[in-house]
């Protein structure tokens, strides 16, 4: 079993090899349009729900005034379909003139006036994934300068129509051109996903030096099964991917689907818990104008966010499975009474029964010390666990997330 000291030494090694542009020191938090609004460009039929200046100004208003920004959600990101169908007569990217009549710089200024940061989407290749003008090889530098002139703070770069053989060079070159602009821009790369799908080797040690975050696996859909499939993929491949997650460089299991149509409250807690444990970017994609209070409460859960944003910067891992219960552990930076705190997620895959008992040795605790088990979603201290005692709790849902806090023995 890993000890906390060995884990911390390993973290320091990983952090030393991460992208050093001073950005995304903790996993980025924000909102993106794709899952809820997709590529809806019909503003005549759907004036309030199309990809437009109006929609993003409204989301900026809500993020800044209803607690999201205060909780850490700072990036407002436009996904695909913001572009005009063609570049302009100078071969520059341009937004759709009807849907974004004031241009992107004006929208960026408005978003910044709300205390938020502005993110945008593009794709390497002739076309974006929805068929709009992409970033071709001859336009890498030009487009990087355009995004800097628009005062963009974050860019998600896809690669549906790119040549897989050129991924490494084109993503590297575009990142260099972004840095050369002098404008700090968080760089999100999608190309590991395409290589993983093609069963090609992904050099994550290299990617950590060119990207702040990267997609590994399938696009998430608004379904519980899609979310669980992504979690299962991470657990199956954790030995080769989780160690590359750290300050400035993060694995990205895709956006939060909380607050949309499919997930129940308990299932939404499950996604929030796993994304917190994985140190995943927390990028919402619900309609913030109509989200129900119980889902908003999950997205704003201070304890889950604190676990996600923990300054130790380590990704939680599946330590072991006991009687059909997966036990995920994440060491935390907070020191209490000279001992580290840590988070533990218990995921009930096929445990028969309700009451579960586990030794703290199985979750990496210092057995000579006592701990208080804090239930993250119930926001309550579950019990005091004394040295050499087992921890016993009842599954009130398929997932339970606890923070173990050392006591002053």
317-406: CATH number: 2.60.40.1180
The average pLDDT across 336-362 equals 89
Q: How confident is the model at residue 367 (pLDDT cuts 50, 70, 90)?
A: low
- Asked if 406 and 336 touch (Cβ cutoff 8 Å), the reply is yes
pLDDT tens, 48-64?
Answer: 999 999 999 999 999 99
Helix (H, G, I), strand (E, B) or coil at 104: helix
Q: Which of 229, 216, 255 is nearest to 79 (CA)?
A: 255
Distance separating alpha carbons of residues 256 and 28, to the nearest angstrom:
12
338 labelled catalytic = no
Q: How confident is the model at residue 17 (pLDDT cuts 50, 70, 90)?
A: low
- Asked if 356 and 346 touch (Cβ cutoff 8 Å), the reply is yes
Q: How confident is the model at residue 370 (pLDDT cuts 50, 70, 90)?
A: confident
Which string of b and e fits 133-160 if b means at least 16 CB within 10 Å?
bbbbeebbebbbbbbbebbbbbbbbbbb
Count of Cβ atoms closer than 10 Å to residue 235 Cβ: 17
List Cβ neighbours of 128 (8 Å cut-off, separation of 6 or more).
80, 81, 83, 121, 122, 134, 158, 160
Q: Which of 52, 31, 39 is nearest to 132 (CA)?
A: 39
CA distances to 207, 220, 279, 311 from 67, in Å? 34, 25, 21, 22
- Give the start-to-end residue ranges of the domains of the chain: 4-308, 317-406
Q: Which residue has the tokens 């913030």?
A: 288
CA distances to 248, 257, 291, 380 from 272, in Å? 21, 9, 16, 18
Count of Cβ atoms closer than 10 Å to residue 62 Cβ: 18
Which position has the higher pLDDT, 362 or 275?
Answer: 275
Which position has the higher pLDDT, 340 or 137?
Answer: 137
Distance separating alpha carbons of residues 343 and 340, to the nearest angstrom:
10
The first and second tokens of residue 329, run together, are: 């552990």
**Share of residues in the chain with pLDDT > 70 (%):** 94
**Share of residues in the chain with pLDDT > 90 (%):** 84
- Asked if 255 and 219 touch (Cβ cutoff 8 Å), the reply is no
Q: Which pLDDT score, from 0 to 100, does residue 6 have? A: 44
Q: Does domain 4-308 have CATH number 3.20.20.70?
A: yes
Domains 4-308 and 317-406 fall in the same CATH topology: no
Distance separating alpha carbons of residues 42 and 292, to the nearest angstrom:
26
Which position has the higher pLDDT, 155 or 17?
Answer: 155
Which position has the higher pLDDT, 18 or 147?
Answer: 147
Which position has the higher pLDDT, 4 or 324?
Answer: 324
Distance separating alpha carbons of residues 137 and 194, to the nearest angstrom:
19
- The helix or strand, by DSSP H or E, that contains position 357, with its residue range, turns out to be strand 355-359
Exactly one of 53, 96, 158, 254 is catalytic; name it: 158
- Global pTM? 0.94
143 labelled catalytic = no
Pairing mode of beta strands 325-336, 317-322: antiparallel
Q: Does the structure show a pLDDT above 80 at 9?
A: no
Distance separating alpha carbons of residues 224 and 221, to the nearest angstrom:
8
Q: Of the ranges 71-80, 111-120, 335-344, which one carries the lowest mean pLDDT score?
A: 335-344
- The helix or strand, by DSSP H or E, that contains position 197, with its residue range, turns out to be helix 191-197
Q: Does the structure show a pLDDT above 90 at 212?
A: yes
The first and second tokens of residue 163, run together, are: 């040549």
On average, the pLDDT of the chain sits at 93
Exactly one of 109, 151, 219, 375 is catalytic; name it: 219
Q: Which pLDDT score, from 0 to 100, does residue 363 have? A: 81
Helix (H, G, I), strand (E, B) or coil at 124: strand
pLDDT tens, 91-130?
Answer: 999 999 999 999 999 999 999 999 999 999 999 999 999 9
- Asked if 178 and 147 touch (Cβ cutoff 8 Å), the reply is yes
Q: Does the structure show a pLDDT above 90 at 5?
A: no
Q: How confident is the model at residue 4 (pLDDT cuts 50, 70, 90)?
A: very low
Q: Does the structure show a pLDDT above 50 at 3?
A: no
DSSP 261-323: SS--HHHHHHHHHHHHHTT--EEE-S-TTT--HHHHHHHT-HHHHHHHT-TT-PPPEEEEEET
pLDDT tens, 159-187?
Answer: 999 988 899 999 999 999 999 999 999 99
């Amino acid at each position: 079993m890993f000890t906390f000291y060995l884990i911390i030494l390993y973290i320091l090694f990983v952090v030393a090899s991460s992208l050093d542009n001073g950005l995304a020191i903790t996993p980025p938090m924000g909102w993106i349009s794709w899952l809820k609004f997709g590529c809806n460009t019909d503003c005549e039929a759907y004036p309030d729900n199309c990809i437009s200046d109006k929609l993003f100004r409204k989301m900026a208003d809500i993020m800044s005034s209803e607690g999201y920004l205060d909780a850490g959600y700072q990036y407002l990101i436009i996904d695909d379909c913001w572009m005009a169908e063609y570049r302009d007569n100078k071969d520059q990217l341009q937004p759709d003139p009807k849907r974004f009549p004031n241009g992107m710089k004006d929208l960026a200024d408005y978003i910044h006036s709300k205390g938020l940061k502005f993110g945008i989407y593009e794709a390497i290749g002739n076309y974006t994934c929805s068929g709009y003008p992409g970033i071709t090889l001859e336009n890498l530098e030009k487009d990087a300068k355009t995004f800097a002139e628009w005062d963009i703070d974050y860019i998600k770069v896809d690669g549906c129509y790119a040549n897989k053989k050129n991924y490494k060079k084109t993503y590297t070159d575009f990142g260099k051109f972004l840095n050369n602009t002098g404008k700090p821009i968080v760089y999100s790369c999608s190309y590991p996903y395409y290589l993983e799908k093609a069963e090609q080797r992904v050099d994550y040690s290299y990617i950590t030096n060119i990207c702040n975050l990267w997609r590994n696996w399938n696009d998430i859909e608004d379904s519980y099964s899609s979310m669980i499939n992504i979690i299962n993929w991470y657990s199956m491949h954790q030995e080769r991917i989780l160690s590359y997650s750290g300050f400035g460089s993060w694995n990205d299991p895709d956006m939060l689907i909380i607050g949309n149509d499919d997930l129940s409250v308990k299932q939404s807690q499950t996604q929030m818990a796993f994304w917190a444990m994985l140190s995943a970017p927390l990028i919402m994609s619900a309609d913030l104008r109509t989200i129900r209070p119980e889902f908003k409460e999950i997205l704003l859960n201070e304890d889950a966010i604190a676990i996600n944003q923990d300054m130790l910067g380590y990704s939680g891992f599946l330590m072991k499975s006991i009687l059909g219960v997966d036990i995920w552990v994440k060491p935390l930076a907070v020191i209490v009474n000279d001992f580290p705190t840590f988070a533990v997620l218990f995921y009930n895959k096929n445990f028969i029964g309700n009451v579960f008992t586990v030794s703290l040795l199985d979750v990496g605790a210092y057995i000579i010390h006592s701990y208080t088990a804090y239930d993250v979603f119930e926001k309550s201290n579950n019990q005091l666990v004394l040295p050499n005692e087992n921890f016993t709790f009842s599954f009130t849902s398929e997932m339970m997330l606890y923070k173990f806090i050392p006591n002053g023995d």
